[in-house]
């Protein structure tokens, strides 16, 4: 599933509470621009006693978008519902009726060995009813991942269970704030999550276990205003990409542009990737287009594929 453009196109995933009554109008008006996705959250952003009301508002919002698209031309982002419990997928899908046709899929929070079977069974139930491809995006953020002694084993078991539905997993996501909360930590806007060593170690293990098979999105950056917020975000995204993450959860429209700009590829990377994928020489090693580095077909092929997917969706920087 990793070798597919759609996996790289989630990009900036804008979180909003499911009880946001303005979200349909904001999307239809083009407020957020293009090249972003939306997560309507029924979990951490909603108080326990407001779940039913939030479900109703969410369904109404998606139905409104569905109707607006019949008569208006606007950018419709990928739309996901972050559920609170497994059977909520079935409830939401049923209540949406024909409007379920604009739903991209579901986000599974705090996935763990104790709940993964229930979530997968509920997703399968919904997928069998759908007449279009539905995706899921599990979030690795449970406290099962804290203990370094058992972490890789837990991650590997989760990976093996997801393997049965691999083509339905659009991205793997990580919950940076949830993991930080386990230690009572929080980064400032001049720091990155990689400066918090226990969390950086968890992220490294996630990449090691899931990175060969899935696109994995970087953790949320919680700053969106004030001095230095954007420079801090750019710095962290550079480190995300260096670590193997693509895309980012965002919590404010200001952050969408930063993510999209960061995911554009450099002209040198684009030229080299294109040359590697179109290799026509007997020798499998050659100098790069600008003669600054070495390209090797066998060792750089997967990198080149990723660069071309990013270039196709986010573009090439005009340097």
**Residue 68 sits in which domain range?**
5-263
Q: In 3D, which of 131, 154, 124, 141 has the Cα closest to residue 220?
A: 141
Q: Cα(19)–Cα(50) distance, rounded to whole angstroms?
A: 9
Q: Cα(268)–Cα(290) distance, rounded to whole angstroms?
A: 7
Q: Cα(103)–Cα(127) distance, rounded to whole angstroms?
A: 12
Distance from chain centroid for Cα 286: 35
Q: Are residues 189 and 48 in the same domain?
A: yes
Q: Cα(103)–Cα(75) distance, rounded to whole angstroms?
A: 14
Could you tell me the two tokens for 294? 């070495």
Asked if residues 241 and 6 have their Cβ atoms less than 8 Å apart, the reply is no
pLDDT of residue 292: 87
- Which residue numbers in the chain have pLDDT < 50? none
Q: Are residues 90 and 121 in the same domain?
A: yes
Instruction: Indicate whether 110 belongs to any domain.
Output: yes
Backbone angles phi, psi at 123, to 5 degrees: -65, -45
Q: Are residues 194 and 301 in the same domain?
A: no
Q: Are residues 213 and 296 in the same domain?
A: no
Q: In 3D, which of 43, 37, 35 has the Cα closest to residue 23?
A: 37
Q: pLDDT tens for residues 51-65?
A: 999 999 999 999 999
Q: Cα(162)–Cα(138) distance, rounded to whole angstroms?
A: 9
Q: Are residues 125 and 228 in the same domain?
A: yes
Global pTM value: 0.95
Instruction: Indicate whether 319 belongs to any domain.
Output: no
Buried b (16+ CB within 10 A) or exposed e, 42-56: bbebbeeeebeebbe
* Domain harbouring 46, CATH code: 3.20.20.60
E strand or H helix that includes residue 129: helix 116-129
Question: DSSP letter at 101?
Answer: G
Q: Are residues 240 and 310 in the same domain?
A: no
pLDDT of residue 217: 97
Q: How many structural domains are present in the chain?
A: 2
Instruction: Indicate whether 99 belongs to any domain.
Output: yes
Q: Are residues 187 and 59 in the same domain?
A: yes
């Amino acid at each position: 599933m990793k070798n597919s453009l759609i996996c790289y196109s989630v990009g900036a995933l804008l979180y909003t509470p499911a009880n946001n009554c303005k979200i349909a109008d904001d999307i239809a008006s083009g407020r957020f621009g293009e090249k972003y996705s939306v997560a309507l959250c029924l979990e951490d952003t909603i108080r326990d006693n407001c779940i039913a009301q939030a479900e109703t508002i969410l369904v109404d919002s998606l139905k409104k978008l569905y109707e607006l698209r019949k008569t208006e031309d606007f950018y419709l982002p990928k739309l996901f519902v972050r559920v609170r419990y497994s059977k909520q997928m079935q409830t939401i899908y049923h209540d949406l009726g024909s409007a379920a046709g604009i739903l991209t899929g579901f986000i599974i929070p705090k996935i763990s060995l104790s709940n993964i079977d229930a979530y997968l069974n509920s997703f399968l139930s919904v997928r069998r009813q759908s007449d279009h491809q539905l995706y899921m995006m599990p979030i690795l953020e449970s406290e099962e991942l804290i203990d370094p002694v058992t972490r890789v084993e837990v991650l590997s078991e989760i990976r093996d269970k997801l393997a049965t539905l691999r083509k339905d997993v659009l991205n793997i996501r990580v919950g940076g704030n949830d993991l930080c909360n386990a230690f009572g930590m929080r980064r400032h806007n001049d720091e990155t999550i990689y400066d918090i060593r226990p969390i950086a170690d968890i992220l490294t293990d996630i990449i090691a276990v899931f990175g060969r098979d899935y696109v994995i999105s970087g953790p949320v950056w919680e700053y969106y205003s004030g001095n230095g917020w954007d420079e801090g975000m750019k710095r962290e995204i550079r480190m995300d990409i260096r670590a193997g993450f693509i895309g980012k959860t965002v919590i404010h429209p200001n952050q969408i542009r930063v993510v999209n700009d960061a995911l554009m590829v450099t002209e040198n990377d684009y030229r080299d990737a294109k040359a590697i994928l179109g290799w026509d020489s007997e020798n499998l090693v050659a100098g790069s287009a600008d003669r600054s580095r070495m390209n090797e077909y066998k060792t750089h092929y997967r990198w080149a594929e990723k660069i071309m997917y990013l270039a196709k969706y986010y573009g090439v920087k005009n340097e």
